[in-house]
A and B are shown apart, each in its own frame.
Chain A
Amino acid sequence: MNWQSALDPHSANARHLADLFWFFTALCAAIWLLVVAALLRAIRHPGLAGEQDPPERQLRKSRIVGALTALTVLILVVFTAASFYTTRSFAWPDMNTLRIKVTGQQWWWQVEYRNHDASQVLTTANEIHIPVGRPVTLELHATDVIHSFWVPDLMGKQDLIPGRTNYLTLQADHAGVYRGQCAEFCGLEHARMAIWVFAQEPSAFEAWRRHALMPNTMPDGGAAAKGAYIFVHRQCASCHAINGSDAAGQTGPDLTHFGARATIAAGTLHNTAANLDRWLADPQAVKPGANMPKVDLSAPDRAALVAFLEGLK
């Protein structure tokens, strides 16, 4: 996994932003050094108090002040122009490329791969898989409060606002896993609202997509089958969906192929059987305030549920 940093760009857009940042930083640093140098010189060579400057010196001084003011204006114009031209290209999403609808909710991400062919529409959560080397347009929505989508290695941030659609273009140069997170305070568990972007070679991405589109096959025996029954007939199915089963809740994350995901609860825990058991035993102890309630399940029932969910590869 890559270090989550805007200064470690892995895409052209992120690189433009990093370049912009370094350009700002360098120029501002140079100006700061010049100012400090001038200040030091002034301290070392103070003028005499009460001394009246000769007129030609006064003229020179006002010329210098005028020139520096003009230079300041020029630098500000350059900065404005630089940031304008850098970010302008981001504002025009390509609608003819892979489009992914990302919906921010307290506190997780719903991900839907758009397609003109409805049977190719794919819903998942808290993970985005993208092919490397081509732009991907994200459609950003929110259902409750304002969130912000930020995967610093790949792109700048963009808000998700209830009732409107924002766009963001992602493109990864090379395969890798990039962490992102909500960048707008959105409530108690704002800090536990992470998202992972898996950039894959196009063939690997296509294989993932095809696999993810298939409904899960339901286990036909053992603890996993018992877990499947519990999932459908107990509280789980009120909020979660698993394609291939009769569970079709929509208000919680879609759990189709859950076993293949990296984390639980939007990056809160690594997806292991032990962590899932811990999460199911009391979600409120792990992520207090999350909308996932504590369901009273016996330890064997919970183990069956874990076996079922982890088996959804």
Chain B
Amino acid sequence: MSSAWARFALLAALLLAGCEREKRVYSGQPATNPAGELYQENAYDVAQGKRLYTWMNCTGCHAHGGGGIGPALMDNRWIYGGKIQQIYRSIRDGRKNGMPAWKNRLTDQQIWQLAAYVRSMGRYVRKDVAPSRDDALNSGKAESRRERSAPLEPGR
């Protein structure tokens, strides 16, 4: 009997954990989040980042992670660092070799969401947080099905 209860409690805990995975905070998130961790652990933020990635023409240079005009984002080479805080800074302030600055074109929250999505392209986020499908023409394996791009950059 007690084992059935234990099973039920485990199931409930798992289900609740699932809720946490895509907990939606629409505008309550702190304006700047130096840690950025909240964003890359949240499936909703990563999904919003994926939407913005297409909307803001990121695909034009970085394709769907493979790159072209700009560097690939699904591999393990990070010119300006691959931590979410470093990616955030690359998007916000731009970089000298052509990456434009987005600080007046996106809100801080959106830049964090984008950075979180970029982290998911090389699967530097949890498998259950990474998007699992494309809504448009398939460019390859979904983010959640990709191998984690090893080696990880130092620090994380």
Contact = CB atoms under 8 A, between A and B. Distances in A.
A and B touch in the complex (CB under 8 A): yes
A283 to B, nearest CB: 8
A144 to B, nearest CB: 7
Contact of B110 (A162, A237, A293): A293
Residue among A233, A234, A282, A294 with the highest chain B CB neighbour number at 10 A: A294
B24 A285 contact: no
B31 interface: yes
A233 B104 contact: yes
Contacts of B24: 288-289
A19 B30 CA distance: 56
B5 interface: no
A296 B104 CA distance: 10
Main secondary structure of the interface of B (DSSP, over half): loop
Nearest to A250: B55
A285 B27 contact: yes
Main secondary structure of the interface of A (DSSP, over half): loop
Size class of the A contact interface (CB-based, 8 Å): 10 to 19
A239 B24 CA distance: 22
B109 interface: yes
A217 interface: no
A75 interface: no
A284 B26 contact: yes
Interface string A133-154: 0000000000010000000000
B26 A288 contact: yes
B105 A235 contact: yes
A238 B27 contact: no
Nearest to B24: A289
B26 A289 contact: yes
A97 interface: no
A294 B104 contact: no
Contacts of B105: 234-235, 237-238
B27 A235 contact: no
Given A235-B106, A285-B27, 9 more contacts: A235-B104, A235-B105, A235-B107, A239-B55, A282-B27, A293-B27, A293-B109, A293-B110, A294-B107
| Among all A-B residue pairs, the 5 with the closest Cβ atoms | A284-B26, A284-B27, A294-B27, A251-B55, A293-B107
17 contacts: A144-B135, A233-B104, A234-B104, A235-B105, A235-B106, A237-B105, A238-B56, A282-B27, A284-B27, A288-B24, A289-B24, A291-B51, A293-B107, A293-B110, A294-B107, A296-B31, A296-B107
